[in-house]
Amino acid sequence: MKNICGYTKQDLINVRKFIHEINDEIVVRISTDKDWQCSLPNYRLYLGAKKQPQWLTNVRLEWYKKQDFYIDNVNMSIISLLHEIGHFETFDVDEWLERNDLTYQYQQEYCDDDTMTMEQLNLKYFEIPNEYKATKWAFEYYKNNRQKCDKLAAMLGFTM
């Protein structure tokens, strides 16, 4: 049986094994909504939907391509997973607090500014130092562990 995010129990086992090879302190759960997220500092990672909206994938990909850490032909869903792990691996409490403040500020700006698009909101969010560092960590890990990442993507049925 699958949940709202589309994972089976075997998927969860495979993801946990993958994550625990990186950091065995991380508790892995399936999200009750469709977003990928982590809870710091209590080491909880919530898996988001197996299939992300195409518009969001496109926005992320365009931003990634402009970064010095970008590598071609990565699985975007694995990058999303690694990004969340990256938050644990690059955790800094001051940056996390700054991230929370900026996230709130950007959401307020989006709600108050009729001209700001969801894409623009996401682009601002990606630039938050904490978010940038987690994404950079994700790409570096993928680059150094491509076979393992591609194997997990295949097991989970993630498409490029």
pLDDT digits (tens, 9 = 90+) for 55-75: 888 999 999 999 999 999 999
**Number of domains the chain contains:** 1
Count CB neighbours of 45 within 10 A.
Answer: 23
Domain that holds residue 124: 9-156
Residue 1 lies in a domain: no
Residue 90 lies in a domain: yes
Q: How confident is the model at residue 160 (pLDDT cuts 50, 70, 90)?
A: low
Calculate the CA 72 to chain-centre distance.
Answer: 17
Q: How confident is the model at residue 3 (pLDDT cuts 50, 70, 90)?
A: low
What pLDDT is attached to residue 2? 56
**Helix 54-65 vs helix 76-89: angle between axes, to the nearest 10 degrees?**
70
Residue 3 lies in a domain: no
Once rounded to an integer, what is the mean pLDDT over residues 86-105? 92
Count CB neighbours of 53 within 10 A.
Answer: 11
